[in-house]
Amino acid sequence: MRIDLAYDGTDFKGWAKQPRLRTVQGEFESALATVLRVPEAQVVCAGRTDAGVHARGQVLHLDVDDEVIAAAARLHRGGPDLGVVARRLNGLLPGDLRVRGVSEAPEGFDARFSAIWRRYAFRIVDTTERLDPLVRRHVLAWPRELDMAAMNAACEPLLGLQDFASFCKRREGATTVRTLLDLFWERDADGVLVGTVRADAFCHNMVRALVGSLITVGEGRRDPQWPAEVLRAALRDPAVSVVAPHGLTLEEVGYPEGAELAAQADRARNRRELA
């Protein structure tokens, strides 16, 4: 099954299940096991989100036997009605965690490894008058107005296949090579500064560290070429701050079609390095 999920990350300690902590995976798998009437259910997600990070477009997959699905969903025109599974899940889940859809996954689909890109948005309110208290848990309040043009100028050299070690929290044996497809800022109708960040994958803290460096440029404390200089150094720079998570939302995950699903999953499992 493919499951599309949305959540407000404020009161979760991140995606990954942890003992005695409230996490998205823990809450969801508990409800899923109840709906499917199985002792436990284990899902794979497109990308693990940190504590406080939100999602509109998280994607999961679950390998499940046909008879389990048949028992959990009413038959509809000879097959299971997976909409029933979605409705039953939403009846059990807390209000800050919602299923947006349940469908039969195509052959070769893997929520994590079949993905060809993930798109995040980071939202900043940089004048106190624009801060709407109704959305304060989903935007970063910044006390000084930021220069969007300077921030966009700093974005361009960061695009493409790069080693983002300077902006990632290193993990043993994990590569920091990523392809950054989009990075730009624009203001929405309410004046909120929205950063779009799209890449084939992200390493730990990468988006929040990139945003931190671009805020430094937007404040005028560094020139627009500074983030690219940090990138080329391939070392964590103490001048790069990792901003708070609550302005960050996983908006969408992209997948290929047909036979490319399995082929992409095979490619993604290979460790990437710069030539």
* DSSP state string for 67-100: HHHHHHS-EETTEE-HHHHHHHHHHHS-TTEEEE
What are the angstrom distances between the C-alpha of 52 and each of 20, 26, 94, 138, 258? Answer: 17, 15, 16, 9, 35
Q: Output the pLDDT for position 66.
A: 84
Structure tokens, 240: 């790069």
Digit-coded pLDDT (tens) for 134-173 = 999 999 999 999 999 999 999 999 999 999 999 998 777 7
Q: Output the pLDDT for position 75.
A: 57
Looking at the predicted structure, is the pLDDT value of residue 120 above 70? Answer: yes
Q: Output the pLDDT for position 26.
A: 97
The one catalytic residue in 4, 8, 11, 50 is 50
Q: How far is the C-alpha of 248 from the C-alpha of 51, rounded, in Å?
A: 11
Spell 131-144 as b/e; 16+ CB within 10 A means b. Answer: eeeeeeebbbebee
The helix/strand/coil state of 9 is helix
* Residue 98 pLDDT level (bands cut at 50, 70, 90): very high
CB atoms within 10 A of CB 184: 15
Digit-coded pLDDT (tens) for 243-254 = 999 999 999 999
50 labelled catalytic = yes
Digit-coded pLDDT (tens) for 6-22 = 999 999 999 999 999 99
